[in-house]
Chain A
Amino acid sequence: MQALGCQLERARRGESEAMSMLYRQFLPGVFGYIAARVPDRATAEDLTSEVFLKMVEGISQLRATDEAGFAAWLLQIARFTVAGYYRKRERLPVLVSLAPSAQEEEAGGDSEALLRSPPSQDPAARAETHDEWNTVVSAINTLTEEQRQVLVGRLILGYDLATVARMIGKKANAVKALQFRALHSLHRLLEKQGWPEQASHVQTRQRGGKP
């Protein structure tokens, strides 16, 4: 915590190295949060870039001095960015595109995406993973913002209860309850969609076995 406070201070003063360290530390959390909210990786990457650019622009005005405060600030930017993405999408007319679909694009629609894709997965496995993940994303989007932040803090950033409590401004017991309710709701929603069988199938395919 103390070290992050120093990094924050240095980043506020405009030191690039500190900015890089903050970015590397919080990329998994921000990307995980966004990827859990949007259906495809390309969008998650675009929105993650947007969040970190806003971080660079706004860090000099930031008042937070500890890790929990900084994480809360960054996730708030991420939340607004995702909300903005969905608002824009609502305004767009629904078009039937002849261009490759999101999963097709992810699977190799352009050379950059091809480079980024993990080489171990075959296209069929990726498509199944994508479908399965879409189900998870839909379920995660029905959670409350606090529940989502608790899941990100606990599962992706790996924070303890006390840090997540500071991050969302609640007590540790409330975080426990939010964590339980989040996973319980997620489980209930996914069960309706055939989870865990679907996930089991995907995981088996990912390991290279037969479903």
Chain B
Amino acid sequence: MKPLSQRLNDQLERGGKRIRNSGEAPGWLASPLQAESPDPEVDELVALARHVQSHPHLHAYPDFADLLERRLLMHHASLNRKQPGRQRFVPRLWQAHPALGIALGICLLVLLLGTGMLVAAAQVTNPANPLSVIKHWEQHVQVSLTNSPENRAEWDLQAAREQLDRLAGLANAAHEEAYLPALSAFNQQVRGAESAIQALPAGPHRERLSNELTALDVEARHTLRGWLPQLDVPQRLITTDELGRLGDRVPHLLSIAIVLSAPANEQATISISGDNIQPGAQLLVDGQIMEAQGTYQDGLSVFTINWSGSQHPASIGILNPDDTAAQTTVITMTSLTNGSNGNNGEHGNGKNGRKPTRTPPPHH
């Protein structure tokens, strides 16, 4: 059985429909609902509802309704007379001086576009983006407005921090072109901050900023190292350079010697000496990782690889197991084909050299 509230509602709605359909006055005693329904409790409530609903006290008299309507309209009209100017100032201006209105509109539009562009430029991370020109201009204006050396040093430091944050979005193989200039910009900003801090007179302010710069260097080293595994070889090379500038231990190549064996063997032995070359380092030829057998002893790595072709390599490098990389173009090439230790010279002329066999770089 339905709850009382539901039964009451059903009865009220049925009664309402009946009254609406028949047009009869809702008299509570004469209601036929009572006779039909077997639910006396609900019927009493429905009767009460009809009684309240149809009670003459609840209905406004027509003459009162008319009087009040007239009074309302007069009040409304007097209100409209009191406050027309404020609400309709712009439409009136538009009608009176259309040219002025158009000029005002254009000014507003330009202002909005300009502000929007400056805001959008401030968010740009990609130096290839045309808005980066505006961003540089904004930064230039900010720097030129910063007149005290303390403020300037603070600003440089802050700019370097922001640039490091922006770099995070570019540290992957997909953004190689944007990553390299952005890293270079970061380097310039760190150097700028360094010079600005050095130019400050000794004191607590300079000490605080120096500490902040040191903290930024440490943070940058940690961050850049973290990115290395996800970068391409060219990105790793430039990132390693930056790590070196930030004071990290990175590989540094001193000399490269290539010894070509007899043509029949098509073998080359590449000896690489330098600092911080790690055991297990891979060989890079012209920026590509090569399949080569290597040994490492006393800071000297020796690789033996298949050598075919006739071109002198433009660069030789290594890729350490910790993903730091270094390369150099200073290469000494020696050929054993002419029966002597003939030296083709540094930056080899390539006449007698042979092109190494390359393996495709790994995908990151």
Contact = CB atoms under 8 A, between A and B. Distances in A.
Contacts of B61: 116-118
Given A180-B5, A183-B8, A200-B29, A31 B59 contact: yes
Interface stretch (B44-52, B96-104, B181-189, B323-331): B44-52
B60 A45 contact: yes
Question: Which secondary structure characterizes the binding site on chain A?
Answer: helix
A24 interface: yes
Interface string A44-75: 11001100110011000000000000000000
Interface string A173-211: 000110111011011001000011001100100100000
Interface size class of A (residues with CB under 8 A): 35 or more
Contact of B76 (A28, A56, A176, A179): A56
B58 interface: yes
A112 to B, nearest CB: 9
A129 B52 contact: no
A24 B79 CA distance: 20
A151 B52 contact: yes
Contacts of B72: 19-20, 23, 52-53, 56
Contacts of B16: 158
Interface stretch (B62-70, B161-169, B237-245, B338-346): B62-70
A21 B63 CA distance: 17
B142 interface: no
A182 to B, nearest CB: 9
A180 B65 contact: no
Given A23-B69, A180-B45, A186-B52, A35 B58 contact: yes
B55 interface: yes
B58 to A, nearest CB: 4
B4 interface: yes
Given A31-B60, A49-B71, A179 B5 contact: yes
Interface in B1-53: 4-6, 8-9, 12, 16, 27-29, 44-45, 47-49, 51-53
Contact of B75 (A44, A56, A196): A56
The 9 residue pairs across chains A and B that have the minimum distance between CB atoms: A180-B5, A31-B60, A183-B45, A32-B58, A155-B53, A176-B5, A133-B57, A116-B61, A56-B76
12 contacts: A20-B72, A56-B72, A56-B76, A129-B57, A133-B57, A136-B52, A136-B57, A158-B16, A180-B45, A183-B49, A184-B45, A199-B51
